[in-house]
Amino acid sequence: MDKRLQVPITEEEARSLRAGEKLLLNGVIYTARDAAHKRLTEQQEKGEMLPVDMENIAIYYAGPAPAKPGQVIGSCGPTTSGRMDLYAPKLMAWGQTMMIGKGLRNEKVIEAMQKYGAVYVTAIGGAGALLSKCVTEMACTAYEDLGAEAIYKLTVKDFPVIVTIDCLGNNLYETGKQEYAEKKV
């Protein structure tokens, strides 16, 4: 049975999660992708107040499709996390405890996760229709002009993810591949 987890989580909770654990997220997460990350860091550099509280925030790297009438949100799978690697350590320093996305992270991100106590979980890339069913509320929080790239506050119910890199540096991408590889390439 997959473990239900209330989000956002504290640094302590982030440090207790382990790579390979399957979770169902319940609570509040915020979307942000390339353009929003760029704008957040630019605002911070200028000393401006950020439009969303970063303390313990769970950020979902995603840019949803538009909602059809009657839908809460359009299809909303994760985007490739690596493009946020440049910004992620800063956001963790400001208090982010969870990154939700898909794909590889660089060394600096993995080091920052250990230093600040943040966890990297992945959702199924390309399963946007399925994941849209796990969002019960959606509201634009900031940067509305960015359209799909704006920051949206999502209330999620049993949103399925897998802990992929934990605070100890355990990395399911590496261990999973090693387990099933038939030969060294």
Partner 1 sequence: MKIVNVKEIAEAVKKMCIEANYYLPEDIYGALKEGEKNEVSPVGKDILKDICVNADIAREDGIPICQDTGTAVFFVKLGQEVYIEGGLLEEAINEGVRQGYKEGYLRKSIVENPLYRKNTGDNTPAIIHYEITKGDALEILIAPKGGGSENMSKVYMLTPSQGIEGVKKAVMETVIQAGPNACLPVVVGIGIGGNFEKCALLAKHAITRNIGSSNSDPRMAQLEEELFEEINRLGIGPQGLGGKVTALAVHIETYPCHIASMPLAVNIGCHVNRHMSVKL
* Residues that bind partner 1 in the complex, under the rule CB under 8 A: 20, 22, 35, 62-68, 71, 74-77, 79-80, 82, 102-104, 122, 124-130, 132-133, 147-148, 160, 162, 164, 172-173, 175-183, 185
Please identify, using beta-carbon distances, which residue of 4 and 177 lies nearer to partner 1.
177
At 87 the three-state DSSP class reads coil
- Least distance to partner 1 from the beta carbon of 53, Å? 26
Please identify, using beta-carbon distances, which residue of 117 and 128 lies nearer to partner 1.
128
CA dihedral (102, 93, 150, 35) in degrees, to 10, reads -80
Please identify, using beta-carbon distances, which residue of 56 and 104 lies nearer to partner 1.
104
Q: How far apart are CA 82 and CA 164, in angstroms?
A: 14
Q: Find tokens 């839908």 and name the residue.
A: 71
Q: Hey, what are 163's tokens?
A: 């802990």
- Least distance to partner 1 from the beta carbon of 95, Å? 27
Please identify, using beta-carbon distances, which residue of 12 and 179 lies nearer to partner 1.
179
Find all residues with CB under 8 Å of 172, minimum gap 6, and list them: 19, 20, 162, 163, 164, 165
- Least distance to partner 1 from the beta carbon of 90, Å? 21
